[in-house]
Chain A
Amino acid sequence: MRMALLSFLLILLVAASAGAGVRPEEILDDPALEARARALGQQLRCLVCQNQSIDDSDAPLAADLRRIVREQLVAGKSEEEIKAYLVARYGDFILLKPPVKPATWGLWIGPFLLLGLGGVLAFVYLRRSRRGATTEDSELSEEERSRLAALLGEDAEGARMPTSSSSP
């Protein structure tokens, strides 16, 4: 229950669209049910549109699906049951929020794995950085030595002075 509430609030924070395809005659009389219908509608994909939810689309199929959602809500079905009904007919594709199942674990865990991996790398770097400062190369290689000599004899045009070494 709390997850649902949190999800709903999170949606409030970022969701930017608000049922632009919904028609007045579709709106349910019960505002609480209508709010649930909207929340669910935001999660269902309009299958014949370019990445819109059924709430935002004015395609006829979207209207049909919106009507189905509302009919089933009025009949007392839960959000999960309605989603299952639609998934049985259209597959997972109709869900804008991908279901959490083995096929999508990578998708849901991914960001946090990335964060963990990145965090570890950053941490290691920061610690190595502390130790690594003393192991800088301060010797010029043979090639660099001869190039330096050549450079000092003509215009400073191509290569720059290597900054890693301490100035002579």
Chain B
Amino acid sequence: MIEYGHFAIALALVTALVQSTIPLWGAARRDRAMMALAPQAAVAQFLLLTFAFATLIHAHLTDDFSVRNVFENSHSTKPLIYKFAGVWGNHEGSLVLWVWILALFGAGVAVFGRDLPATFTARVLAIQGLIAVGFLSFMLLTSNAFERLDPPAVDGRGLNPILQDPGLAMHPPMLYLGYVGFSTAYSFAMAALIEGRVDPSWARWLRPWVLAAWIALTLGIALGSWWAYYELGWGGWWFWDPVENASFMPWLAGTALLHSAIVLEKRNTLKNWTILLAILTFALSLLGTFLVRSGVLTSVHAFASDPARGIYILALLVIAVGGSLLLYAWRAPQMQSGPVFAPISREGALVFNNLLLAVACGTVFLGTLYPLGLEAVGGPKISVGPPYFDRTFVPLMIPLLIAVPVGAMLAWKRGDLPGVLARLKFALAAAAATLALTLALGGARALLAGFGFALASWIVVGSLVEYAERIAFLRVPLARSWQRLRGLPRAATAMTLAHVGLGLMILGMTASSAGRVERILVMRPGETVALAGYEVRFDGVSQVRGPNYVAERGSFSVTREGNPVTVIHSERRFYTVERRTTTEAGIATNLLRDLYFVLGERSGDGWTVRLYYNPLVLWIWGGAVVMALGGLVSLTDRRLRVGVPRPTVRSVALEGAD
């Protein structure tokens, strides 16, 4: 069965080769038949890869340990859902997911892009095909998930227990939808460069694809962060780890791209910059793929990853990114600059947005790769950790965050800044009040937290004020406002949602950092400790058995002023096959706070316990979800569906003229 999958991959490679060559030639010669091959090949490739993926999933789900990939990463006692997720929980399998999503987007362009001009579609799909050629050959030559083991094994090696988790199961697919989804933007940019022309409709065609990838990446990163929070046992949600940065950089560039494409579409300007961003966003995705698989940035006293794989991906990177940037350097100077706008305007604000996002992205890039570069030139080996990013990234973001509600209100072409600030005075008052309240409650120490809260309320209230203006809220009867709301272009609602989500994230980040309360101590069964207004009683430890682990389970009863609130359990699990111990924190979540308890080791006649009170921490990921929701709403805007007028319209008109 798996051999069919293997064969399908090989066929897909051939299809990709066809897809990447003939349509390009056809576009240059305006040959309809050759160009039409592109969407056909893209759909065929998608079907072939779906089949191949299915055979691999089937092998995992049926415990087929004659397949090397299943042997290395699975075990018969693993719960079914993790057998499924384990397909992409390893290098080879995740590559299959990667190319499958690449083909998914290619097929998407083929199917939904029917209104696009044929030369354009042909070129876009040809570039997608080229990327597929690169990754499919990489798979077949160095990382084949479809190999057999001879002799077949009786059972597998199991999956790292840390990965046996619902959040982490969904994290790679979501992340890849984002990462790989930006390949479409890249292909669009390359097609535009080859064509030698960029016009506002290009930006309109581009926008849904960038949005889709951006939404997925936002959710993927949020999932990863949330997973790290509840799984890794110390309640942190971002560590500026190179692997995290590898996904954050495309997100920063992608957000800049999203905003820059808006300017291009509306005002026909920032062309070269938007193209560059489209290339860079995907380049950063590829860089991320390289960084996490090549072993170039690790720090563990352990073996390094296979350098052969690293070399191959680096070659892919050089060809894809180097090639596109060379093409850019050659063609972009010939593209025209756009109409004029005053520096203080919506366009100006978006330039400001792009500037800061790009510099922030560059900073993360610098921090992540500087140690490598320094070592390469013979310097000392250094570490760049959270203290660096706190001092560079955060100060860069603050002006950007302040500008968010302002930019959303400025008019196109020429804006009235004093007027906008006057209209935002309610938001300014809200921010000032929040700062004052925080200082009143927390004292002078809470100054920075106060600024964080003030920033969050500035963004949230400012965005709502803008929306309220648009629907003339409280200035006309509510029914009229409702009518106006229904008539608003979806993109307007989307913008407000996304910005509000951003503000909520800032709220969650500030509150959970500044307001966190921690108790680390040894508790004996029956003892009680106070935590942020709650009383926590340790009820002792019992032994439990899971499907593929045994565990010690600690119970904690939480009350507030004597009234029971909840019971929290935390486990220390020992996975029998993999022989690893993991800790499962017990978390009680509501909209206002998390109670996060971790059972530690036995200590004398008690246990070490770590109890945390994390206020408003849910909003870090809740805000991200709201942000992604905003993106989704924007995606459903009907204006994005208009394409090139079809020939039938013209012929009808001609007939009418007769």
Chain B residues, Cβ within 8 Å of A43: 385, 387
B475 at the interface (CB under 8 A from A): no
B299 and A50 form a contact (CB under 8 A): yes
Count of chain A residues with a beta carbon within 8 Å of a chain B beta carbon: 69
A111 and B448 form a contact (CB under 8 A): no
Q: Contact flags (1/0) for B338-370 with A, using CB distance below 8 Å? A: 111111000010011001101100110011001
B449 at the interface (CB under 8 A from A): yes
B384 and A107 form a contact (CB under 8 A): yes
B518 at the interface (CB under 8 A from A): yes
A159 to B319, CA, bound (A): 28
A38 to B119, CA, bound (A): 61
B396 and A115 form a contact (CB under 8 A): yes
**Contact with A160, one of B241, B449, B603, B644 (Cβ below 8 angstroms):** B644
Q: Contact flags (1/0) for A85-127 with B, using CB distance below 8 Å? A: 0000001111111110001101110110011001100100110
B396 and A111 form a contact (CB under 8 A): yes
A10 and B234 form a contact (CB under 8 A): no
A129 and B520 form a contact (CB under 8 A): no
Name the residue on A nearest B617 (C-beta). A16
B382 and A18 form a contact (CB under 8 A): no
B448 and A9 form a contact (CB under 8 A): yes
A129 and B337 form a contact (CB under 8 A): yes
Please list 8 pairs of residues, one from A and one from B, whose beta carbons are closer than 8 Å in the complex, sorted by A's number. Answer: A20-B233, A56-B234, A92-B383, A95-B382, A97-B385, A97-B391, A107-B384, A110-B363
A32 at the interface (CB under 8 A from B): no
A126 and B351 form a contact (CB under 8 A): yes
B482 at the interface (CB under 8 A from A): no
A37 at the interface (CB under 8 A from B): no
Binding site for A on B (CB under 8 A): 30, 32, 117-119, 197, 199-201, 233-242, 268-269, 298-301, 336-343, 348, 351-352, 355-356, 358-359, 362-363, 366-367, 370, 374, 379-394, 396, 447-449, 451-452, 509-510, 512-514, 516, 518, 520-522, 598, 600, 603, 608, 610, 612, 644-645, 647, 650
Name the residue on B nearest A130 (C-beta). B340
Q: Contact flags (1/0) for A136-168 with B, using CB distance below 8 Å? A: 110000000000000000011111101110000
Name the residue on A nearest B268 (C-beta). A163
A42 and B392 form a contact (CB under 8 A): no
A107 and B268 form a contact (CB under 8 A): no
A11 and B380 form a contact (CB under 8 A): no
Given known pairs A16-B512, A163-B200, the reply for A10 and B391 (CB within 8 Å) is yes
B387 and A97 form a contact (CB under 8 A): yes
Name the residue on B nearest A7 (C-beta). B391
Chain B residues, Cβ within 8 Å of A13: 390, 394, 448-449, 451-452, 510, 513-514
Name, among B236, B338, B385, B512, the residue most crowded by chain A CB atoms within 10 Å (CB to CB). Answer: B385
B447 and A9 form a contact (CB under 8 A): yes
A92 and B381 form a contact (CB under 8 A): yes
A158 and B387 form a contact (CB under 8 A): no
A42 to B387, CA, bound (A): 8
B119 and A158 form a contact (CB under 8 A): yes
A15 and B386 form a contact (CB under 8 A): yes
A27 and B383 form a contact (CB under 8 A): no
A12 to B387, CA, bound (A): 11
User: How far is the CB of A7 from the nearest CB of chain B, in Å?
Assistant: 7
Given known pairs A20-B598, A98-B383, A107-B366, the reply for A50 and B199 (CB within 8 Å) is no
A130 to B413, CA, bound (A): 11
B338 and A95 form a contact (CB under 8 A): no
A49 at the interface (CB under 8 A from B): yes
B341 and A95 form a contact (CB under 8 A): no
A133 and B339 form a contact (CB under 8 A): yes
**Contact with A24, one of B341, B603, B645 (Cβ below 8 angstroms):** B603
Given known pairs A96-B385, A98-B382, the reply for A156 and B359 (CB within 8 Å) is no
Name the residue on B nearest A116 (C-beta). B359
A145 to B32, CA, bound (A): 22
User: How far is the CB of A79 from the nearest CB of chain B, in Å?
Assistant: 12
Name the residue on A nearest B606 (C-beta). A24
Name, among A27, A48, A50, A119, the residue most crowded by chain B CB atoms within 10 Å (CB to CB). Answer: A50
B30 and A158 form a contact (CB under 8 A): yes
A99 to B236, CA, bound (A): 24
A9 to B390, CA, bound (A): 10
A17 and B380 form a contact (CB under 8 A): no
Chain B residues, Cβ within 8 Å of A10: 390-391, 394, 448
A56 to B298, CA, bound (A): 18
Chain A residues, Cβ within 8 Å of B447: 9
Q: Contact flags (1/0) for A22-49 with B, using CB distance below 8 Å? A: 1111010000000000000011010111
A9 to B234, CA, bound (A): 21
A18 and B518 form a contact (CB under 8 A): yes
Chain A residues, Cβ within 8 Å of B380: 91-93, 103
Beyond the given pairs A23-B608, A94-B383, A110-B362, 12 more chain A to chain B contacts, judged by CB atoms under 8 angstroms and listed by A's residue number, are A16-B236, A22-B520, A24-B521, A43-B385, A92-B383, A93-B382, A107-B366, A122-B351, A129-B338, A130-B340, A156-B650, A158-B119
A51 and B299 form a contact (CB under 8 A): yes
Chain A residues, Cβ within 8 Å of B197: 160, 162
Name, among A15, A19, A125, A129, the residue most crowded by chain B CB atoms within 10 Å (CB to CB). Answer: A129
A12 and B448 form a contact (CB under 8 A): yes
A110 and B383 form a contact (CB under 8 A): no
Name the residue on A nearest B343 (C-beta). A126
A15 and B513 form a contact (CB under 8 A): yes
Name the residue on B nearest A101 (C-beta). B380
A14 at the interface (CB under 8 A from B): yes
**Contact with A107, one of B238, B348, B370, B449 (Cβ below 8 angstroms):** B370
A2 at the interface (CB under 8 A from B): no
Name the residue on A nearest B381 (C-beta). A93
User: How far is the CB of B131 from the nearest CB of chain A, in Å?
Assistant: 24
